């Protein structure tokens, strides 16, 4: 595609119908902001420049856009006086524009790069001064109608408030995405007036000007008109979000991913899945999550910005910024917090929480444990109920456990502490000092019994009654009947 292309994205309006402190185009759909989706489509056309028109909350919106397209040109529309005024502001922000100018709105998250590329190609092939990306819809209420003559030539676009009853019956609508010859647009913008019901400068009035000048105007209906649907409130946002997810999940199934229940499976736009991945019901894969081939995720699992290796299984787990190695096993009911790294064939089991923890190849934390700020060596097994006490009330400290260590149930590691290769701990041990390789750390003293404690200290309770009954039923220690 030729590179003399400028894409203008309109993002100045406040979106009051969203009833939100967040600017409309910054609301997320499928893991990206709405304007993020539009910018992604725009960049697929390989433009020479992208101009974003900002206004309301310009600092937040502008910074967000620059994070996606660093060399974007930001044009500030101080007053929102209509699309014609917004494009005039955008054109004034660039020194010189030639070739083709495409204008898109920042609230159409279903728009794809393929559709935008095709539209630009059709516009250039037609040598039109203006081209409209149009669509035919069942209910055109609130949308600008494309007016054609009997020969089918485009005459103009009329907005809903300015349309006659007959014009309101027209089902071909303006999507708001337009392409212009740059020279014509530069000449036409000052001629656009605001003599209409809303008192705004409509960019679509340039179509009538092109007709007056004897220039060609084209309208190119898009088959998938939902790509051009804008979002104005939260109900539309939810509906568009569900449709985007349906499209993403369907595309992955066609690419070789098994999805048991598409209705309860959510996959963000930037997620990457390997061949023969299986997603079970209730799975949410968010952000930049990557899942390797043959992995099984779910049911009831949410992973955000995680990496899951080939052949791994993650069941009923919540994870964020975590890495799960090939053929590793996670869950059920595990919580992987940022900084968790589980090695190849490793295990993080039921009711285990991890944070900033590097768990080596083949190492296992099977049950009921908290592992924070820790390194666990290859092949080590951590006993049930183990706590890595990493916080002293002021600072976090790290625990390091060597390879092939075996720790007993209910061990507490009071960081900072190191446990050597092949070492172990007894059940209930509190480890406060380093443990040498191959040593067994035991902190509990010998067991002792205080006889009759329940009957003396808990008289009248069920505990005491049960103890008294058991003592009465047991034979005396020197009863000959107990001897062989």
Give catalytic residue positions: 367
Q: How far apart are CA 441 and CA 330, in angstroms?
A: 28
Classify each residue of 325-338 as buried b or exposed e, where b means 16 or more C-beta atoms within 10 Å of its C-beta.
Answer: bbbbbbbeebbbbe
265-274 contacts, C-beta under 8 A, 24 or more apart = 265/298, 268/30, 268/31, 268/32, 269/30, 269/31, 269/32, 269/37, 269/244, 270/31, 270/32, 271/31, 274/310
Q: How far apart are CA 62 and CA 77, in angstroms?
A: 12
> Can the peptide bond before residue 332 be classed as cis, meaning omega within 30 degrees of 0?
yes
Helix axes 34-43, 113-126, angle to 10 degrees: 50
Q: How far is CA 233 from its chain centroid?
A: 20
CB-CB neighbours of 449 under 10 Å: 6
């Amino acid at each position: 595609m030729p590179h003399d292309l400028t894409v203008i994205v309109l993002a100045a309006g406040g979106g009051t119908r969203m009833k939100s402190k967040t600017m409309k185009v910054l609301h997320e759909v499928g893991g990206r902001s709405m304007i993020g989706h539009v910018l992604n489509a725009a960049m697929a056309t390989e433009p020479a420049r992208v101009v974003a028109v900002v206004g309301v909350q310009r600092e937040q919106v502008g910074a967000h856009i620059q994070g996606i397209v660093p060399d974007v040109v930001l044009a500030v529309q101080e007053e929102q006086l209509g699309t014609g005024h917004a494009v005039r502001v955008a054109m004034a922000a660039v020194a010189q524009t030639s070739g083709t100018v495409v204008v898109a709105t920042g609230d159409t998250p279903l728009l794809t790069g393929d559709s935008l590329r095709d539209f630009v190609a059709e516009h250039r092939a037609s040598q039109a001064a203006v081209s409209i990306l149009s669509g035919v819809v069942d209910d055109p209420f609130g949308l600008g109608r494309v007016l054609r003559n009997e020969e089918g030539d485009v005459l103009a676009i009329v907005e809903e408030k300015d349309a006659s009853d007959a014009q309101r019956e027209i089902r071909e609508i303006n999507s708001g995405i337009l392409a212009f010859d740059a020279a014509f647009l530069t000449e036409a913008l000052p001629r656009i007036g605001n003599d209409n019901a809303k008192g705004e400068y409509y960019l679509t009035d340039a179509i009538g000007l092109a007709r007056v000048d004897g220039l060609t105007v084209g309208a190119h209906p898009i088959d998938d008109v939902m790509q051009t649907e804008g979002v104005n409130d939260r109900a539309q946002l939810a509906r568009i979000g569900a449709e985007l997810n349906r499209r993403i999940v369907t595309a992955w199934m066609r690419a070789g991913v098994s999805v048991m229940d598409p209705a309860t499976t959510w996959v963000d736009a930037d997620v990457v899945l390997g061949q023969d991945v299986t997603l079970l019901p209730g799975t949410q894969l968010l952000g930049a999550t990557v899942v390797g081939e043959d992995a099984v995720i779910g049911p009831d699992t949410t992973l955000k910005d995680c990496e899951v290796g080939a052949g791994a299984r993650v069941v009923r787990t919540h994870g964020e910024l975590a890495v799960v190695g090939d053929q590793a096993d996670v869950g059920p009911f595990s919580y992987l917090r940022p900084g968790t790294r589980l090695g190849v064939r490793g295990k993080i089991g039921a009711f285990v929480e991890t944070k900033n923890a590097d768990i080596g190849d083949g190492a296992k934390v099977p049950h009921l444990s908290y592992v924070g700020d820790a390194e666990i060596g290859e092949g080590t097994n951590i006993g049930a109920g183990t706590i890595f006490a990493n916080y002293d009330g002021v600072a976090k400290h790290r625990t390091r456990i060597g390879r092939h260590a075996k720790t007993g149930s209910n061990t507490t590691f009071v960081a900072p502490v190191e446990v050597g290769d092949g070492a172990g701990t007894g059940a209930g041990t509190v480890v406060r000092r380093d443990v040498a390789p191959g040593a067994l750390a035991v902190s509990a003293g010998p067991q002792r019994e205080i006889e009759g404690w329940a009957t003396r200290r808990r008289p009248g309770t069920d505990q005491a009654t049960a103890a008294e009954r058991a003592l009465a039923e047991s034979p005396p220690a020197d009863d000959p009947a107990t001897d062989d």
